[in-house]
Amino acid sequence: MSTVLGADAAAQFLPGLRGPEDLRGLPADVLPTLAEEIRGELIQQVCRTGGHLGPNLGVVELTIAVHRVFQSPADAIVWDTGHQAYVHKMLTGRWDSFGTLRQAGGLSGYPNRLESPHDLVENSHASTALGHADGIAKAFELAGTRDRRVVAIVGDGALTGGMCWEALNNLAAAPSRPVVVVLNDNGRSYEPTAGYLPRHLRQLRDNVARGNLFEDLGFAYVGPVDGHDLAATEDALRAAAVLRRPVVVHCVTTKGKGYRAAEEDEADRMHTVSPAASSAASGPSWTSVFGDVMVEIGRQRPDVVAITAAMLRPTGLHAFAVEFPDRIFDVGIAEQHAVVSAAGLAGAGMHPVVAIYSTFLNRAFDQVLMDTALHHAPVTFVLDRAGITGPDGPSHHGMWDVGLFGLVPGARVAAPRDPDQLRVLLRECVACDDGPTVLRFPRGDSGRTLASVGRWGSASVLRAEPDAQILLLPVGPLAEAAVDAADKLRRHGVPVVVADPRWLQPLDPALVQAAGRFRTVFTIEDNAPSGSFGDALARELRETGATTRLHSLTLPADFVPVSSRKDLLHTYSLDAEGLARTVLTTARG
């Protein structure tokens, strides 16, 4: 720690805050001490549990000022992105639960309506708060409520998303609705904010701008104000509140403020930190393997370019960017634009690799379907964080991409079981020149390499017990659990065959034919059940007239809660122990 309270120092004011009304009752001269207490708590707890540290250190004073000027929940306060709402949680009666942050059954890492009436929108995907604010303000107006304000705190990184600009266009068109847009300008998302917007914000900060984009759109503008100066920030917010119209309050903050390790971190200002007691690695991370192979491919293929949506380092593209700075494009938090731009690049003779988290690609489905697949554009989508991701919770599990791409004509979907297969399959993806390809892998370490003992077309056979009538078909890295389950089953006298499909879509006819020769087939995947690999195989088996009994083992048809990947796989019987138990129960039933 640097300028903040020591880890063992007792907080003086924070424990007495049961809600924003208590905060408003504190005299102004004690607020700097409160801010110091909050920073100490953030550093101590988030470094222990893991989470978004840098963004929250940067909004301490801003959050205090918002809750002193506005009266939540009567005044609607929404956050964009919601990972900067930790201080908001502390000031709304949840300080004593903060040690459970991002733990199973504990506080969510994002606003959560089940936790508090002060959490209105569970927005863990960026650029949505202004749209919510527009809808809430319209509802207040229709209800005849004139004394309730709507406040949206939006980062400059989130403001690169197209949905923000759609919302700004609508908000400014209604000058009688009192919506306060608090622009938290720290110049960064993970890394420096992409595009032209940061240049204009810098000109506003330096008072050299020839115009004001927000005023040109129809907003009143207050600022820029030092977002770490509590008195100045409160004054700016009060001035905005009395205008009773759409207004932008431009607050300039420092990501990681008050913690030297974060302020000096040039990569991402400690945007996120991992839990202090993380487990030992079992192989390189999936992300790092992808990043290494991308550099190798880049050296061999000058037509290969890479696109990221404000997540250069998290998606493993930093090394590619260093070696090929003219072939990397950060489009900001704009997934739809990323996909359409990739289609344009492909149409002009390049092969784009769009590296994005699985859950975030959901936002660009229309662009995948109509702008990429319809044009047979050779774009490779690399989906990091596919399947169960862990403590980020329901909004971040990448459990829908297989079902979504199952609706896309001509799309090819690959799932590597180990780092060696990631290297092979990525090369196979970029070799395709007649339509979109997808490579999906989870968060975390890549595990051990699993050797093949045979092939069924493009599928790899990993275990082959004599006289086996049961086939296990795991998707991607769940192959490791399936192989371990096969060893357990052999000891129980139940022989099985384990095969890795490698390509989930389209299904290789050789794999379908082989599966049809077994009495029972289990497909194993951490995907939603609808549109899963198991669904696709069941359909193909029906069409061949096979009498095979297929059991599709998936995640439930619901949002999956917060917990570690290991624990959730165990909960849903997708680990070796659970798979062996399920197969034994079926075999003996």
Tell me whether residue 186 is annotated as binding: yes
Q: What does the pLDDT read at residue 6?
A: 44
| Catalytic residue check, 255 | yes
Do residue 415 and residue 464 come from a single domain? Answer: no
Which pairing describes strands 247-252 and 220-226: parallel, antiparallel, or unpaired?
parallel
Q: Which residues contact 263 (CB under 8 A, 6 or more apart)?
A: 2, 254, 256, 257, 269
Do residue 351 and residue 401 come from a single domain? Answer: yes
Instruction: Give dist(CA 113, CA 82) in Å, integer.
Output: 12
Out of 385, 413, 440, pick the residue that ends a domain.
Answer: 440
Out of 414, 440, 466, pick the residue that ends a domain.
Answer: 440
Please compute Rg for the chain using Cα positions: 26
Instruction: Give dist(CA 58, CA 104) in Å, integer.
Output: 26
Tell me whether residue 124 is annotated as binding: yes
Tell me whether residue 156 is annotated as binding: yes
Q: What does the pLDDT read at residue 576?
A: 97
| Catalytic residue check, 264 | no
Do residue 368 and residue 495 come from a single domain? Answer: no
Q: What does the pLDDT read at residue 276?
A: 66
DSSP three-state, residue 443: coil
Do residue 489 and residue 555 come from a single domain? Answer: yes
Do residue 347 and residue 229 come from a single domain? Answer: no
Q: What backbone torsions phi and psi does residue 403 show, to the nearest 5 degrees?
A: -65, -40
Do residue 468 and residue 330 come from a single domain? Answer: no
Do residue 183 and residue 304 come from a single domain? Answer: no
Alpha-helical segments (H) within 462-552: 478-491, 509-515, 533-544
Tell me whether residue 526 is annotated as binding: no
Asked if 160 and 191 count as a contact pair (C-beta separation under 8 A), the reply is no
Amino acid identity, residue 6? G
Q: Is residue 101 part of a domain?
A: yes
Catalytic pick among 255, 257, 327, 502: 255
Do residue 104 and residue 38 come from a single domain? Answer: yes
Instruction: Give dist(CA 404, CA 366) in Å, integer.
Output: 10
Do residue 82 and residue 32 come from a single domain? Answer: yes
Do residue 395 and residue 510 come from a single domain? Answer: no
Tell me whether residue 335 is annotated as binding: yes
Catalytic pick among 94, 269, 363, 502: 363
Structural domains in the chain (count): 3
Instruction: Give dist(CA 289, CA 418) in Å, integer.
Output: 10
Phi-psi region of 320 (alpha: psi -120 to 50; beta: other; left: phi over 0): alpha
Cα dihedral sign for 244, 247, 251, 256? positive
- Nearest-5° Cα angle at 32, 30 to 37: 95
CA distances in angstroms from 216 to 158, 170, 219, 220, listed in the order given: 20, 14, 7, 9
Residue 56's CATH number: 3.40.50.970
Catalytic pick among 335, 428, 480, 540: 335
Listed residue (135, 86, 92) closest to 117, CA to CA: 92
pTM: 0.91
Q: Which residues contact 232 (CB under 8 A, 6 or more apart)?
A: 225, 226
Do residue 498 and residue 533 come from a single domain? Answer: yes
Q: Is residue 26 part of a domain?
A: yes
Q: Contacts by 133-139 with C-beta closer than 8 Å and gap 24+?
A: 133/76, 133/78, 133/167, 133/171, 133/179, 133/181, 134/167, 134/170, 134/171, 134/179, 136/76, 136/78, 137/171, 137/174, 137/177, 137/178, 137/179, 138/174, 138/177
Alpha-helical segments (H) within 362-467: 365-366, 401-405, 419-431
Q: Is residue 58 part of a domain?
A: yes
Three-state secondary structure along 85-152?
CHHHHHHHHHHHHHHHCCCCCCCCCCCCCCCCCCCCCCCCCCCCHHHHHHHHHHHHHHCCCCCCCEEE
Tell me whether residue 158 is annotated as binding: yes
Q: Is residue 148 part of a domain?
A: yes
Q: What does the pLDDT read at residue 190?
A: 67
| Catalytic residue check, 491 | no
Q: pLDDT digit of tens for each residue in the chain (589 aa)? A: 344 544 445 678 888 899 999 999 999 999 999 999 999 999 999 988 888 888 899 999 999 999 999 999 999 999 998 899 999 999 999 988 888 999 888 889 889 999 999 999 888 888 999 999 999 999 999 999 888 999 999 999 999 999 999 999 999 998 888 999 999 998 876 677 888 888 999 999 999 989 999 999 999 999 899 999 999 999 999 999 999 999 999 999 998 888 888 777 666 667 777 776 555 556 799 999 999 999 999 999 999 999 999 999 999 999 999 999 999 999 999 999 999 999 999 999 999 999 999 999 999 999 999 999 999 999 999 999 999 998 888 999 999 999 999 999 999 999 999 999 999 999 999 999 999 999 999 999 998 999 999 999 999 999 999 999 999 999 999 999 999 999 999 999 999 999 999 999 999 999 999 999 999 999 999 999 999 999 999 999 999 999 999 999 999 999 999 999 999 999 999 999 999 999 999 988 6
DSSP state of 16: G
- Tell me which residue has tokens 């950060």: 330
Tell me whether residue 86 is annotated as binding: no
Q: Is residue 3 part of a domain?
A: no
Q: Is residue 44 part of a domain?
A: yes
Tell me whether residue 465 is annotated as binding: no
Asked if 509 and 559 count as a contact pair (C-beta separation under 8 A), the reply is no
Provide the domain limits for residue 559: 454-588
Q: What does the pLDDT read at residue 187?
A: 82
Helix or strand holding residue 20 (H, E): helix 20-24
Instruction: Give the tokens for residue 130.
Output: 């202004």
Q: Is residue 371 part of a domain?
A: yes
Q: Is residue 9 part of a domain?
A: no
Residue 564's CATH number: 3.40.50.920
DSSP state of 523: E
Do residue 426 and residue 547 come from a single domain? Answer: no
